[in-house]
Amino acid sequence: MRTRTVLIVLFEGIQPLDVTGPHEVFAGVRHAHGGEGAYEVRTATIDGEPVRSTSGLRLAPDAALGDCAVPDLLVVPGGEGALEPDPRIVAWLRDNGPRAGRLLSVCTGAFLVGAAGLLDGRRATTHWAYCDRFTERFPQVRLDPEPIFVRDGRVATSAGVTAGIDLALAVVEEDHGREVALTIARHLVVFLRRPGNQRQFSVPLAAQTAGRPTLRDLQHWIVEHLRADLSVDALADRAGLSPRHFARAFRDEVGTTPGRYVDLVRLEAARRLLEDTGQGVEEVSRACGYGTPEAMRRAFVRSLGAGPAEYRRRFRPMTTVQPLAG
């Protein structure tokens, strides 16, 4: 397998994790795959000079962008500097982005790629906090605020900083296979790469937090007691309200019905157990309050389009881990 070139663009006000996360993933292939088909990773700034990140970390590049050959894989990180980008970098991306084999953006790096016109007509995503601003600035882009990363042809965009690691792992899996990607994921202690269509938020974070303390405490209690009776009547009794009053108040304050909230929390817990543990499907179904594997299967098919066994087949944990050299 030939060596693939990776070029990471650096600029003032960059988010350092957007750089180091993908960099570590691509560099890890050399150790996980015995050097075969490894990536040659380089960084570059517009003028070859060091830049300062949002946290104050100083990053020294390998080269100036103008001196770099068009790479197999071009990575555009995010950060405050991507929101009001250097016109010289935008121009360079406009000229060179279409010629790169693949183009990836991390977090608000989508603003840079969008400013270069490389997302026009494409489906994309970015960090949740900047989705409204992105849509206003780039109405020609089909922004999807939900997934942690989106792939549209040769261009891929990702959400928050850790989503850049997920996207890089997806690229490694595509180039080198699942076992290599999972070996790197374990080494980085991210355990398992998340599927791109996974939401940016967990259910408790995505849902609104109730205003009144009793309902807010109940939300936390549900997450920690999935095997309990979580019917509306039981939850209403725990909240000290009538079932009708409870259902109305919960919907008004949390933004969804109690039943739907319970369904989503159980589904997320089951997904995490299937991804990160070796527990059997029956054991997972009991732990998450489904009662039977069939009840959990119906919930998975309804929400994810695949049963638990198929979901685990795609995202199962490794049974053995090949250690990486330090």
- Express each pLDDT in 248-269 by its tens digit: 999 988 888 999 999 989 998 8
Give 236-245 pLDDT, tens digit per residue. 999 999 999 9
In this structure, the number of other CB atoms found within 10 A of the CB of residue 219 comes to 20
**Residue 238 CB partners (closer than 8 Å, separation 6+):** 218, 221
Sequence-ordered list of residues with C-beta below 8 angstroms from that of 278, at least 6 positions apart, any chain: 317, 319
pLDDT tens, 276-326?
A: 778 899 999 999 999 899 999 999 988 877 889 888 876 654 433 333 333
Q: Which active-site residues does the annotation give? A: 107
> In the prediction, which pLDDT does 1 show?
64
- Give me the sheet containing 149-152, strands edge to edge: 63-64, 39-45, 4-9, 73-76, 102-105, 155-158, 149-152
- The answer to whether the CB of 78 falls within 8 A of the CB of 106 is yes
> Is the confidence at residue 208, as pLDDT, over 70?
no
101 CB-near residues (< 8 Å, 6+ apart): 4, 71, 72, 73, 154
Closest by CA to 110, choosing from 101, 96, 120, is 120
Q: Which residue has the higher pLDDT, 198 or 84?
A: 84
Confidence label for 196 from pLDDT (cuts 50, 70 and 90): very low
At 189, the pLDDT band (50, 70, 90 cuts) reads low
Do the bridges between strand 149-152 and strand 155-158 make them parallel or antiparallel, or are there none, so unpaired?
Answer: antiparallel
Nearest CA among 136, 138, 134, 117 for reference residue 126: 134
Q: Can you tell me whether residue 171 is helix, strand or coil?
A: helix
In which band, very low, low, confident or very high, does the pLDDT at 183 lie, cut at 50, 70 and 90? confident
**How many C-beta atoms lie closer than 10 Å to residue 186's C-beta?**
19
Residues in Cβ contact with 228 at an 8 Å cutoff, skipping those fewer than 6 apart? 234, 289
Per DSSP, helices labelled H in 66-160 are 80-83, 87-96, 109-115, 131-137
74 CB contacts (<8 Å, ≥6 apart)?
6, 7, 9, 96, 97, 100, 102, 103, 104
